[in-house]
Amino acid sequence: MLALSANGVLPKVDYAIFADTGWEPRTVYAHLDRLEREVAAPAGIPILRVSAGNIRNDALNPERRFASMPLYIRNPDGKEGMTRRQCTGEYKIKPIKKKVRELLEYPYPQRIPKDVFVEQWVGISTDEFHRAKDSDVKYMRNRHPLIDLDWSRADCVRYLTSLGLADTPKSSCLGCPFHGNAQWRHIRDTSAVEWRDVVEFDAAIRKGNARANAEGNMLLGEAYLHRSRIPLDQAPIDHVTAAEQAALQDELADEQDAELGVLNGCSPWACRGEVEAAQGDFGLAA
């Protein structure tokens, strides 16, 4: 959408906002720098980088309040579960709202008049139109320009390729439990440093996050990044089942998640799954 706006296909936006969890792959930060240099700056579009902290460090720091990631849990009785996802709201939505309030010149806790709002573009394509949602605050009105253009994911890839941006990486936390085997393999096979980073993190959260432990709220079971609930460096990430092959052909959405991760992933205002309940407004409502 940034490129479409910069190139005049869509109207020019006032700002683009990147919510930084502090733990994106290096390729994402490099790509963002490139976009800023080659696309946004020449068009006069500022990219605002906002952050509520570093999700990796916060999970391991007993001094910091940590908004939980969706970790895979095995309970002492063998039953499996997941921790509640709060991270998207805390590390992405909350800092974006704070920035929008600043731009509107109504910082929290000021009340924002009804007729003061931003139009916020969310990059949902036609193949995921079910994820297009309204904002939960009146001072942000969501629009979905890719759907208005009737663009699918393939159309977006074609356009990016035509601009020399075919290598646009997928944005998500390096150790996001929503990764599928393909994403874990990609980290392992392309960056020894990042693979060590996620393997170490996986081992470090086995008993939950540091703050909860320091406060005596120990996790009774064990937490894992991989859906198999096996330590990441031993998890069966090379295993591609027949169902996963089928998923690659986009036939079985759930099985596709097993191989490719939750394709819809983590995107403010476009998350799937239980995030709505965890989203809230974090004290930033009008």
Q: Interface with ligand SF4 by CB under 6 A: which residues? A: 21, 55, 69, 85, 87-88, 91-92, 172-173, 176, 178, 266
Q: What are the φ/ψ torsions at residue 126 (nearest 5 degrees)? A: -65, -30
Closest approach of ligand SF4 to the CB of residue 33, in Å: 20
- Nearby residues of 192 by Cβ (< 8 Å), 6 or more positions away: none
Measure the N-to-C terminal CA separation of the chain; round to a whole number of Å.
Answer: 27
Closer to ligand SF4 at the Cβ: 151 or 201? Answer: 201
Closest approach of ligand SF4 to the CB of residue 185, in Å: 18
Closer to ligand SF4 at the Cβ: 48 or 82? Answer: 82
Closest approach of ligand SF4 to the CB of residue 58, in Å: 11
Closer to ligand SF4 at the Cβ: 151 or 175? Answer: 175
Tell me which amino acid residue 4 is. Answer: L
Facing residues of 260 across strands?
none
Closer to ligand SF4 at the Cβ: 112 or 122? Answer: 122
Give CA–CA dist 12/125, Å, rounded: 19
Give CA–CA dist 91/180, Å, rounded: 22
Beta strands in the chain (DSSP E): 16-19, 47-50, 72-74, 80-82, 118-121, 140-143, 222-224
DSSP per-residue codes, 17-41: EEE--S---HHHHHHHHHHIIIIIH
Closer to ligand SF4 at the Cβ: 5 or 264? Answer: 264
Closest approach of ligand SF4 to the CB of residue 283, in Å: 19
Closer to ligand SF4 at the Cβ: 151 or 178? Answer: 178
- How many other CB atoms are found less than 10 A from the CB of residue 215? 9
225: buried, middle or exposed (CB in 10 Å: 19+, 13-18, 0-12)? Answer: buried
Q: Which residue is nearest to ligand SF4 (CB)?
A: 266
Closest approach of ligand SF4 to the CB of residue 75, in Å: 21
Closest approach of ligand SF4 to the CB of residue 132, in Å: 18
Closer to ligand SF4 at the Cβ: 198 or 266? Answer: 266
Give CA–CA dist 62/51, Å, rounded: 20
Closest approach of ligand SF4 to the CB of residue 14, in Å: 25
- Helices 192-204 and 181-190: crossing angle in degrees, nearest 10, is 130
- Reading phi first (left if > 0) and then psi (alpha if -120 to 50, else beta), residue 262 is in beta
Read off the tokens for 274.
């239980």
Closest approach of ligand SF4 to the CB of residue 265, in Å: 6
Closer to ligand SF4 at the Cβ: 87 or 247? Answer: 87
